[in-house]
Structure 1
Amino acid sequence: VLDDLDDDIRFDAILAIDVLEHLTDPNAFIAQVASHLQPGGVFIGLTGDHEAWGWTMQGNSYWYATLPEHQVFYCKQTIEQLAQSHAMTLVSYERTSHARQKTSRVIRDGIRGALHGLIRKLGLAKHKPAPGWLPANDHMLFVLKKT
């Protein structure tokens, strides 16, 4: 979509929810975002956070990492590096989840995820992906400000 805009069009804010992980060239995308932001404008993004607890426990078998359409994974540091490369600053970062669930579901899914991580570490589930775990706070919501 940004490719279709005239070069002189600028916005106060650009929003990308669950986009970054699908890009083969995130650096080029962030460059386009920066070029279409007014000075002081913000880019608001939501993507997976590979430093979240579930990813740390389950590694490459974590449900989010097993989806073939996900090309690139991020953490707070990689978002900061992308921002700095394009004259932007990380002004807000919060780990979040796609879904809010009942506490009992969070506990149940947490136990399932932890058990799967343990089973995988013991070498008993090498080829099975981890169970999905929506309330895992495995995403990050961030705001980059153009300087």
Structure 2
Amino acid sequence: MALLPALPNTEVRRLQRALARRGDDACCWYVCPSAKEEFGTAVLEAMDAGLPVAGPRRGGVAHYLRDQVNGLLMDTSGQVGLMRGLRRVAATSADDRRRYAAAGRKLVAERFSVTRTADELAAEYAPCTPADLGWGRAAARTHHSWVPGPPLNGPRTSEVIQPP
């Protein structure tokens, strides 16, 4: 088991991919021991890299991680539950690890790709007007015209908006 300090995201992604390529002899997992994750982006990134994953039952991870389908869910609310979860991870066969990793990659590709996420976000915001977004007066003060279209057209981040 390796416990690593905080690393830049690019280094984490590089490490995840390298560990996923090591093959069956190396029992590599991504384990999220948080008591609760609101969404668990890091879990999805590990799935995308090709690692089998284990994450908390509480919070958002359980909305997409299915126990023994595309990873393992653990009770991370205390030491006993975490210990049980880590024992399950250690006892998982190579065939199941491969199955979880493949199912995780498929899930990310189908449901959480950057393109799909951007398209869904654009569809949510498409019916909004500048006023809906609180941009009506600010957009007028910056002489920025509203042109509906994905994902958003409002004041550009480079524009300075003066307070009322």
Larger RCO (CA under 8 A, 6+ residues apart): 1
Going by fraction, where is helix more abundant, 1 or 2? Answer: 2
Larger radius of gyration: 2
Going by fraction, where is strand more abundant, 1 or 2? Answer: 1
- Do the two structures share a fold, i.e. TM-score over 0.5? no
Q: TM-score, normalised by structure 2?
A: 0.29
